[in-house]
Amino acid sequence: MKIKQIFENNKEWIQEKLKKDSDYFSNLSKGQDPDILYIGCSDSRVTAEELMGVAPGDVFVHRNIANMVPNTDLSAMSVIDYAVAHLKVKHVVVCGHYYCGGVKAAMQSQDLGILNPWLRNIRDVYRIHQAELDAIKDEEARYKRLVELNVQEQCINVIKTAEVQKAVLDRGIAVHGWVFDIHSGKLIDLKIDFSEILKDVMKIYHLDS
């Protein structure tokens, strides 16, 4: 992919949009009112908008290595705060994907320098679910399950935040855990039952409003 080509593509994209709606960009510039916050992986194959079939303005997006929501990560915390408290999104999605390089790296004991503290968050997920994961003999199946459990744990990290706790009580905001299967292109809803998980964790993380 040549950089020059990107600017050519952009010109074509503008023409396409204007052909359908001559006010497209003037309307887009008025502001955003997305219903969904999507937190996904930076992986170039997991293109948030394209795989969901959504348009500019539909989804507020945050991506990082292995779709993490570390409790002290200022970037993720700021995105959640802005999306929930200011944009008033109705749904927060954490979307992982099978064959995630970040999750794979966390399963290996290699020293990866600056990536170590980031990947340690995934190793913590492994530690929390060690009994279940160690019982899976097939390595690929274990890797896939860690991808799913990582999504679940990052959803819990979303729910731990004060903004989301408030929004759940005030206006019933929903948190969803999804996985994108690169092999088939399918988006899978993990249908995580947060009410059950929350019964246990909220005793620890509950914040009074």
Binding footprint of Co ion on the chain (CB under 5 A): 41, 43, 100, 102
Q: 32 or 47: whose CB is closer to Co ion? A: 47
Catalytic residue flag (residue 95)? no
Q: Are strands 174-181 and 186-189 parallel, antiparallel or unpaired?
A: antiparallel
- Do 34 and 58 form a contact (C-beta atoms < 8 A)? yes
Give the active site residue among 62, 95, 100, 155.
100
111-143 CB burial, b ≥16 within 10 A, e <16 = eeeeeeebbebbeebbeebeeebeeeeeeeebb
- Least separation in angstroms between CB 94 and Co ion: 12
Catalytic residue flag (residue 97)? yes
Give the active site residue among 21, 45, 134, 200.
45
- Least separation in angstroms between CB 46 and Co ion: 7
- Least separation in angstroms between CB 40 and Co ion: 8
Catalytic residue flag (residue 155)? no
Q: 43 or 153: whose CB is closer to Co ion? A: 43
Q: 26 or 44: whose CB is closer to Co ion? A: 44
Give the active site residue among 62, 95, 97, 176.
97
Catalytic residue flag (residue 176)? no
Catalytic site positions: 41, 43, 45, 97, 100
